[in-house]
């Protein structure tokens, strides 16, 4: 029989209150429930010990308390940790914990950043990225997005201070669930993380960028640009044929004006593809049109793909063009590529039960 109950972690406090009232309960019970989930962090309705037994039973009938199941944790030399989670339907996703990461998107430095997934696979098929290699299978629900944070905090014993939506999937293609998850992550009754500590990365869905600009939170936005000329971007990112650079920049300008905020252009340097001095000059022109700083990332090798990282000399020459034009730009020497946890290395995968690796707390870390 298929599940008809609503996942409790996909609902806002208000929605929980409405549902409880409809079940004949006083509205204040809603806040008690969210206190147990996000404050005291219980993992079952039965653990909500100050609620009457009859109410706990009602909760169990109305809602599911799904949890992501961590089935593997890999830790890298620089202590970046990659979590592989199994969802209720058996699909697998990954989240990456990056301790003490530098300030990349304007947030304070030396914090613990969690990179989370929004979809199983990705439909956008960028040519350089592992996440889209095997296509897309489904959107994550808001509760599945939120639970990545709860599970990693539970397992690591650490408090996450920044969230980046840079795991598997295109966040803006799962817009409603993304916004609901952010509401829960941001709310004082929820995880309580400030909007300025939340960064969304998109491959450039122009209409949704504008929609995001129109909602009130001061979320940070990063654009996966990777090419500043249409002929280059068309070749590596199919989304550019739908929303070419001109259209994308118009949406970006709308965002910076509405939010009074700078955004970040992410630019992977791929050898011989987008890393020439002419590409750098085109990037200068694009960055001048929008209030944007540039974050260059030397390409992380993906098994089975032909692309390579340019030599350091070539990377330096590219950066020199940006510097000479006084474009605020950094180059990111990435963490986690030894465990395939770096940007673009998260791949849709499946794991047969026979290969399930038991997780025994820190002992399971492959450090």
73 lines the binding site for ligand SAH (CB under 6 A): no
Residue 132 binding result from ligand SAH, ligand SF4, none, given CB thresholds of 5 to 8 Å by partner type: ligand SF4
Q: State residue 165 phi and psi, 5-degree precision.
A: -85, 75
Instruction: Identify which range of 55-63, 127-135, 306-314, 334-342 contacts ligand SF4 by CB under 6 A.
Output: 127-135
Considering only 186, 224, 264, 295, the residue that binds ligand SF4 (CB under 6 A) is 224
Q: Is 343 a catalytic residue?
A: yes
Considering only 33, 51, 64, 122, the residue that binds ligand SF4 (CB under 6 A) is 122
- Sequence-ordered list of residues with C-beta below 8 angstroms from that of 65, at least 6 positions apart, any chain: 7, 8, 9, 43, 44, 45
Q: Which of 17, 25, 94, 266 is catalytic?
A: 94
142 lines the binding site for ligand SAH (CB under 6 A): no
Q: In terms of CB distance, is 129 or 251 closer to ligand SF4?
A: 129
Q: Is 312 a catalytic residue?
A: no
Contacts by residues 222-225 (CB-CB < 8 Å, ≥ 24 positions apart): 222/105, 222/164, 222/166, 222/263, 222/264, 222/265, 222/266, 222/295, 223/248, 223/252, 223/263, 223/264, 223/265, 223/266, 223/292, 224/126, 224/266, 225/265, 225/266, 225/267, 225/283, 225/286
| DSSP helix/strand/coil, 112 | strand
CB 267 within 8 A of CB 318: no
Q: In terms of CB distance, is 38 or 83 closer to ligand SAH?
A: 83
Instruction: Identify which range of 58-66, 70-78, 122-130, 304-312 contacts ligand SF4 by CB under 6 A.
Output: 122-130
Spatial distance between the Cα atoms of 41 and 36, rounded to a whole number of angstroms: 6
Burial bucket for residue 226 (CB in 10 Å: 0-12, 13-18, 19+): buried
280 lines the binding site for ligand SAH (CB under 6 A): no
Considering only 80, 117, 118, 131, the residue that binds ligand SF4 (CB under 6 A) is 131
Q: State residue 299 phi and psi, 5-degree precision.
A: -55, 135
136 lines the binding site for ligand SF4 (CB under 6 A): no
- In angstroms, the Cα distances linking 213 to 158, 174, 234, 287, 288 are 31, 16, 25, 19, 20
Q: Please, which of residues 241-280 interact with ligand SF4 by CB under 6 A?
A: none
Q: Please, which of residues 150-179 interact with ligand SF4 by CB under 6 A?
A: 169-170
Tokens of 208: 């949704």
Q: Which of 122, 129, 296, 343 is catalytic?
A: 343
Binding positions for ligand SAH, rule: CB under 6 A = 128-129, 166, 170, 201-203, 224, 226, 266, 268, 297, 299-300, 302, 343-344
Binding positions for ligand SF4, rule: CB under 6 A = 122, 124-126, 129, 131-132, 169-170, 203, 224
List the catalytic residues: 94, 343
């Amino acid at each position: 029989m298929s599940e008809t109950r609503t996942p409790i972690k996909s609902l806002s406090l208000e929605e929980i209150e409405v549902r409880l009232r409809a079940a004949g309960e006083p509205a204040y019970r809603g806040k008690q429930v969210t206190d147990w989930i996000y404050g005291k962090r219980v993992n079952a309705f039965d653990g909500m010990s100050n609620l009457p037994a009859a109410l706990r039973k009602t909760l169990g009938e109305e809602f599911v308390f799904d949890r992501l199941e961590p089935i593997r944790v890999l830790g890298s030399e620089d202590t970046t940790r990659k979590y592989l989670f199994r969802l209720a339907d058996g699909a697998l996703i990954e989240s990456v914990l990056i301790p003490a990461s530098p300030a990349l998107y304007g947030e304070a430095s030396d914090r613990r950043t969690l990179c989370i997934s929004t979809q199983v696979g990705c439909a956008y098929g960028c040519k350089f990225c592992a996440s889209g290699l095997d296509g897309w299978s489904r959107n994550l629900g808001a509760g599945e997005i939120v639970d990545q944070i709860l599970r990693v905090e539970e397992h690591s014993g650490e408090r996450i201070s920044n969230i980046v939506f840079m795991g598997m999937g295109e966040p803006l293609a799962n817009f409603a669930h993304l916004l609901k998850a952010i509401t829960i992550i941001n709310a004082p009754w929820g995880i309580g993380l400030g909007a300025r500590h939340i960064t969304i990365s998109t491959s450039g869905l122009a209409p949704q960028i504008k929609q995001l600009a129109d909602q009130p939170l001061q979320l940070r936005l990063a654009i996966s640009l990777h090419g500043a000329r249409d002929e280059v971007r068309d070749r590596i990112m199919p989304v550019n044929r739908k929303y070419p650079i001109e259209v994308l920049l118009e949406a970006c300008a709308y965002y910076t004006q509405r939010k009074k905020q700078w955004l970040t252009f992410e630019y992977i340097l791929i050898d011989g593809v987008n890393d020439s001095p002419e590409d750098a000059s085109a990037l200068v022109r694009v960055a001048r049109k929008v209030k944007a700083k540039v974050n260059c990332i030397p390409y992380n090798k993906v098994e089975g793909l032909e692309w390579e990282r340019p030599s350091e000399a070539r990377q330096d020459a590219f950066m020199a063009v940006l510097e000479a034009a006084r474009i605020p730009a950094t180059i990111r020497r990435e963490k986690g590529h030894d465990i395939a946890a770096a940007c673009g290395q998260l791949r849709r995968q499946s794991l047969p039960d026979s290969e399930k690796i038991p997780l025994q707390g820190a002992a399971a870390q492959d450090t």
